[in-house]
A and B are shown apart, each in its own frame.
Chain A
Amino acid sequence: DGGITQSPKYLFRKEGQNVTLSCEQNLNHDAMYWYRQDPGQGLRLIYYSQIVNDFQKGDIAEGYSVSREKKESFPLTVTSAQKNPTAFYLCASSMQGGIEKLFFGSGTQLSVL
């Protein structure tokens, strides 16, 4: 079955630690996205990528980094510079960025120890 897979489902970060969230899709989609979800804040865009080896910052990119070395994969690193990392992180993909249906993964809940 085609889909988008996020791992792990739950992740804990210690102070000063970088953590990486995985996102893989087998839908052959060109565009991939990372959104952060906080209660009452909706979905806020962190980074997005329209094509391999290219990505753009979203509204809240500070403290995060991404890479897009393969079409299928778009990992997100939450760095120690992100002072409030506790949130639900959602990865998504679409055939063509911006104007097409987004397919979301099931999310990763990141918490700080």
Chain B
Amino acid sequence: AQKVTQAQTEISVVEKEDVTLDCVYETRDTTYYLFWYKQPPSGELVFLIRRNSFDEQNEISGRYSWNFQKSTSSFNFTITASQVVDSAVYFCALSETTQGGSEKLVFGKGTKLTVNP
């Protein structure tokens, strides 16, 4: 079965520090997608990024960057110069094709990031 591991349950940093959230996945699919979602205190999940398994280029979006390494089955997320508004639970997710042929997302347990002023 597909699996997503976010080993860091909680991380606490001081504002302006850089922080990396780890994500390791297991899959037998040759083609798959990886995702990051943010869940702020308000509760709803917000889509951040999707990467497909054939594209290992790192991606940067403002203070956010993602490092996809197929060799280590990792898709890590770095926030540069963290801000208090970055405080949230961050979920890594992996696409899974079920035996019945349907698709779904498998989520990790999440990493709670607290950025202190």
Decide whether A and B assemble into one complex: no
Chain A residues within CB distance 8 Å of chain B: none
Residues of B within 8 A of A (CB): none
